[in-house]
Amino acid sequence: MSDLPVVGEQTPAFTAESHLGPIDLDTLKGKNVVLYFYPKDNTPGCTVEAQDFRDRYEQFQSLNTEIIGVSRDSLKTHTNFSNKHELPFPLIADPEEQLCKQFGVMKLKNMYGKQVRGIERSTFLINSQGVLVQEWRGLRVPGHADKVLEAVKEIA
């Protein structure tokens, strides 16, 4: 799968629907973008991750950085999740897994002893020129938003 984004290279453009309207990566040029993929709305780890990004949102904004979450949930579920946790950033609905496949985040995971396909929690940092500067795959939630914020400070 050599089509995956590569650190140090342009991130392939995409357009996707979020609960706040369409998002086009090309229109975000001039800003850094934190694109984070998570398994499912309203699950414990995903809720903490969203809240951690929410709680640091103003710091990211002050560094000219947008945050965008992505999961396979519907726009309706995203809207409810966002409203419940007062998330100030868009959540992309990717039920067809187009963006998930583009970034190579779909993995086989063990859940209760069964193999299931799901999103591997991953974050991608894209700079203001559209270049992928860092990626975190298979990450753990505690402390992650702080690590991403530190990485943004280094490129801001």
Q: Examine residue 54 and state whether it is found in any structural domain, yes or no.
A: yes
Q: Where are the alpha helices (DSSP H) in 20-143?
A: 44-55, 57-62, 75-85, 98-102
Q: Examine residue 99 and state whether it is found in any structural domain, yes or no.
A: yes
pLDDT at residue 1, rounded to an integer: 42
- Asked if 46 is an active-site residue, the reply is yes
Q: Examine residue 119 and state whether it is found in any structural domain, yes or no.
A: yes
pLDDT tens digits along 62-121 = 999 999 999 999 999 999 999 999 999 999 999 999 999 999 999 988 878 888 889 999
CA dihedral 7, 8, 10, 16 (to 10 degrees): 30
Handedness of CA 40, 106, 51, 79 (dihedral sign): negative
Which structural domain, as residue segments, surrounds residue 83? Answer: 15-155
pLDDT tens digits along 24-72 = 999 999 999 999 999 999 999 999 999 999 999 999 999 999 999 999 9
pLDDT band at 4 (very low <50, low <70, confident <90, very high): confident
Task: Provide the CATH number for the domain around residue 136.
Answer: 3.40.30.10
Q: Examine residue 9 and state whether it is found in any structural domain, yes or no.
A: no
* Alpha carbons 45 and 54: distance in angstroms, whole number: 14
* Alpha carbons 126 and 33: distance in angstroms, whole number: 5
Q: How many domains does the chain have?
A: 1
Place of tokens 């089509």: 3
Q: Where are the alpha helices (DSSP H) in 86-143?
A: 98-102
Q: Examine residue 140 and state whether it is found in any structural domain, yes or no.
A: yes
Q: Examine residue 8 and state whether it is found in any structural domain, yes or no.
A: no
Q: Examine residue 134 and state whether it is found in any structural domain, yes or no.
A: yes
pLDDT band at 139 (very low <50, low <70, confident <90, very high): very high
Q: Out of 16, 23, 34, 46, which one is annotated catalytic?
A: 46
Q: Examine residue 1 and state whether it is found in any structural domain, yes or no.
A: no
Contact assessment for residue 135 and residue 122, using Cβ atoms and an 8 Å cutoff: yes
Question: What are the distances in angstroms from CA 91 to CA 3, 107, 153, 154?
Answer: 24, 21, 23, 25
pLDDT at residue 78, rounded to an integer: 97
For residue 141, pLDDT over 70 is answered with: yes
* Alpha carbons 122 and 136: distance in angstroms, whole number: 5
Taken as a whole, the chain contains a residue count of 156
Question: Is the model more confident about 115 or about 133?
Answer: 133
